[in-house]
């Protein structure tokens, strides 16, 4: 029997499990796109990691397959674009839905569940919630691996960036965005949201 798939907001007590998932995902899936020393530096520096503000805001979600934590990711109505609690360039300032784009934040999939549509499912959930929050567009700083996911889900962008992660190392990425339909909380272009179990 296929285990049941569920999505729920992350709770403070989930933090240790989320932190473990982020490290595992970064080290295994992130290592396909970045040198291992850059992955370690990203985890150490807080460029990749747990952002408890998202959990407090109830905008960070978990995908569970049975009891297995299979993926995490979220959106935000705050200005911070990426990074953990102790990351750089943080701002808790609330964005204005009439003027600003909501953020897509911190997507990490358990390697055992990669390429089964879980991140796309989470994206659809975030887009709907941001739309219901009044936002008409979403923005994010995608890493190389993430860029494929977001392009496959209707995000565009060509401004390449490099995040400094310490020790002279960087993570390469790209700034991306997508318009969504505010009234219905639905995306205007396709989001692939089907779990292939
Ligand atoms: C990026 C990541 C979140 C994708 O999660 P996922 O659940 O495997 O993604 P999905 O199954 O929803 O992928 C949907 C589509 O996106 C594209 N895609 C996703 N990951 C891809 C990859 N590594 N290479 C090429 N295309 C990819 C494909 O078109 C895929 O569809 P397909 O499998 O039918 O070809 C996952 O690889 C991950 O956690 N990586 C490490 C952390 C990270 O880089 N996070 C992003 C931070 S911006």
pLDDT digits (tens, 9 = 90+) for 43-79: 999 999 999 999 999 999 999 999 999 999 999 999 9
Q: Residue 181: which H helix or E strand, with range?
A: strand 169-181
From the list 33, 21, 126, the residue with the least C-alpha distance to 72 is 21
Q: Alpha helix (H) ranges present in 99-183?
A: 118-132, 144-152
Identify the pLDDT of residue 163: 87
Distance 72 CA to ligand 1 centre (A): 13
Structure confidence by residue, pLDDT tens digits, 168-195 = 999 999 999 999 975 544 544 556 666 5
Written as six digits, the tokens of 106 are 């911190």
C-alpha of residue 163 to centroid of ligand 1, in Å: 20
Q: Is 60 exceeded by the pLDDT of residue 3?
A: yes
pLDDT digits (tens, 9 = 90+) for 138-158: 999 999 889 999 999 999 999
Q: Which residues line ligand 1 (CB under 6 A)?
A: 25-26, 29-30, 107-109, 114-120, 142-143, 145-146, 148-149, 152, 192
Residue 2's pLDDT is 77
Ligand 1: distance of its center to the CA of 98 in Å? 30
Atom 32, ligand 1: residue with shortest CA distance: 115
What is the H or E stretch that residue 20 is in? helix 15-28
| Yes or no: domain 5-80+88-187 corresponds to CATH 3.30.420.40 | no
**Which pLDDT score is estimated for 196?**
60
Domain boundaries, the chain: 5-80+88-187
Those residues whose C-beta lies under 8 Å from the C-beta of residue 168, and which sit 6 or more positions away, are: none
**Which atom of ligand 1 is found nearest the CA of 73?**
3
Tell me the average pLDDT of the chain: 92
């Amino acid at each position: 029997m296929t285990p049941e798939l569920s999505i729920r907001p992350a709770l403070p007590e989930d933090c240790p499990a989320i932190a473990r998932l982020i490290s595992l995902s970064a080290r295994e899936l992130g290592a396909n796109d970045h040198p291992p020393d850059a992955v370690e530096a990203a985890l150490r520096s807080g460029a990749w990691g747990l952002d408890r503000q998202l959990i407090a805001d109830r905008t960070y979600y978990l995908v569970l397959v049975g009891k297995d934590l299979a993926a995490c990711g979220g959106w935000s109505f705050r200005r911070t674009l990426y990074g953990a609690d102790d990351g750089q360039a943080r701002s808790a300032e609330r964005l204005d839905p009439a003027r600003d784009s909501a953020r897509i934040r911190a997507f990490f999939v358990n390697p055992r569940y990669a390429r089964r549509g879980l991140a796309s499912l989470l994206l659809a959930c975030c887009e709907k919630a941001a739309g219901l929050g009044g936002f008409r567009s979403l923005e994010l700083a995608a890493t190389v691996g993430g860029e494929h996911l977001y392009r496959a889900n209707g995000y565009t962008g060509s401004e390449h960036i490099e995040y400094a992660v310490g020790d002279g190392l960087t993570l390469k990425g790209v700034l991306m965005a997508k318009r969504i339909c505010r009234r219905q909380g639905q995306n205007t272009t396709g989001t692939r949201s089907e779990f292939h179990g």
